Structure 1
Amino acid sequence: MDALKLLTQQHAEAADLFERFEKAGKNARKTKEQLCQKLGDALTIHNTIEEKIFYPATKDARTEELLREAVEEHLAVKRLLADILQTDLGDAQFDAKMKVAQEQFQHHRQEEEKELFPVVRKMMERDELEQLGEEMEQLGNELKQQAAPRDQVLGETDHPAHI
């Protein structure tokens, strides 16, 4: 799959999980817990794929500033996600933290899809994007085999990823 299509698909999946969390009733504790775990895994896998493969492969003078901003956005989401994962669902601030995470994610998604992806599409040939997408899918599949990919975020909150 084309790398940009893969990332766009992952964005849509995460947005859907955020929406489902938001629509779950206040008493839907088990549903919210499951959605939070799925979202943590999805965002961790997505961020890892971008930071380890996509960003380094697409970094040049045309994208460098956008990528630097993107890793800072990832760091903000990781910090919030780590906080969420360590907060009890019954905590009065839990839903507010999820809402802020959703807003930060939406901002990041819009910047990538409207600013970064069009530049990358012009920079790279179709076969390059396909090959990059295959590498990203492979890493994503490896990460999905872990018991809880979301747990790795707890050790990634000190500084932005190096690109």
Structure 2
Amino acid sequence: MATAAKSTTSSARKSSGRKRRTARRDPLSIRLLKQDHREVEGWFDEYEQLEDDAEKLALFNQIALALKVHTTIEEEIFYPEERGDVEEDMLDEAYVEHDGAKKLIAEIEAMKPGDEFYDAKVKVLGEYIKHHVKEEEQPGGIFAQAKKGEEDLDAMGERLKARKEELMAELGGAKSH
């Protein structure tokens, strides 16, 4: 019994230590952007399991809204403020990847589930986003370089959060999350 209690205490200490290190390692702006990444990745996985066209449409609309908001806050706030701290080529590629994703989203929005290539386009969009996320999150990637820079990433996080709430209200109705 004492061993189990000791083990639990040790696990709790390790766990809370990990949280502190993660919080210190990832400022608010990076945490918010990564949270968006995880959420959309989960929705793409969920989409793969759906068979009902109405459910597919509803989930795709949710994905599209999240991606439009996410790309906008990165392009309006994160990327411009990271110029000089992050390699120019990486930021340029990120803008181009966003543009490609937006074009594919527009193509899918002009279709409906059941149309030829609808599911294939959603799958390719998911793979495209996964690649983009990897470029941002990998060691030496955009986020890693941003954390080494001069910008106050916690203050930027507050701006990202506020702009995301505005966009969610504007583009998605009154809901924000």
Is the TM value for this pair above 0.5? yes
Q: Which residue number in structure 2 is paired with residue 112 of structure 1?
A: 136
RMSD: 1.5
How far, CA to CA, are the matches of 1:147 and 1:103 in structure 2? 24
Deviation, 1:147, is 4.6
Q: Following the alignment from structure 1 to structure 2, what is the Cα–Cα distance between the partners of residues 132 and 16? A: 25
Asked whether the 8 Å contact 2:65–2:171 carries over to 1, the reply is no
SS state at 2:116 partner: coil
TM-score normalised by L of structure 1: 0.85
2:157 aligns with one of 130, 133, 136: 133
What's the counterpart of residue 3 of structure 1?
A: 29
Which 4+ residue blocks in structure 1 deviate beyond 3 angstroms? none
Alignment equivalent of 1:20, drawn from 46, 54, 76: 46
Counterparts of 1:88 and 1:43, CA distance in 2: 18
Quote the residue 1:87 is aligned against. Answer: 111
Tell me how far 1:148 sits from its aligned partner.
Answer: 3.7
Q: Aligned equivalents of 1:85 and 1:76: distance in 2?
A: 14
Aligned equivalents of 2:72, 2:109: Cα separation in 1: 18
Q: Are residues 147 and 107 of structure 1, via their aligned partners in 2, closer, same or farther at CA, if it must alter by over 3 Å? A: closer
Distance in 2, matches of 1:129 and 1:62, equals 13
The unaligned stretches of length 5 or more in structure 2 are 1-26
Partners of 1:113 and 1:61 lie apart in 2 by 15
Return the letter of the residue paired with 1:12. Answer: R
Matches within 5 A, 1:40-51: 40-51=64-75
1:146 is paired with a residue of what secondary structure? Answer: helix
Offset of residue 74 of structure 1: 0.3
Computing the radius of gyration from Cα coordinates, the structure with the larger value is: 2
User: Of the two structures, which has the highest relative contact order with CA contacts closer than 8 Å and spacing of 6 or more?
Assistant: 1
Query: Deviation digits for residues 67-111 of structure 1, max 9, x if unmatched?
Result: 000000001100000000001212021000001101110000000
Cα distance, 1:61 vs structure 2: 6.2
Following TM superposition, by how much is the alpha carbon of 1:24 offset from its aligned partner in structure 2, in angstroms? Answer: 1.0
Partner Cα separation in structure 2 for residue 31 and residue 43 of structure 1: 18
Indicate the SS of the match to 1:120. helix
Give the total of aligned pairs: 145
Q: Distance in 2 between matches of 1:88 and 1:3?
A: 35
Q: After superposition, what is the alpha-carbon deviation per residue over 1:116-148, rounded to whole angstroms, capped at 9, x for unaligned?
A: 1111111146xx111000000000000111254
Instruction: Find the aligned partners of 1:63 and 1:52 in 2 and give their Cα distance.
Output: 18
Q: Distance between the aligned counterparts of 1:61 and 1:113, measured in 2?
A: 15
* Aligned match of 1:34: 58
| 8 Å Cα contact 2:108/2:118 also seen in 1 | yes
Contact 2:57 2:113 in 1 (8 A): yes
**Cα distance 1:61–1:2, how it changes in 2: closer, same or farther (>3 A)?**
closer
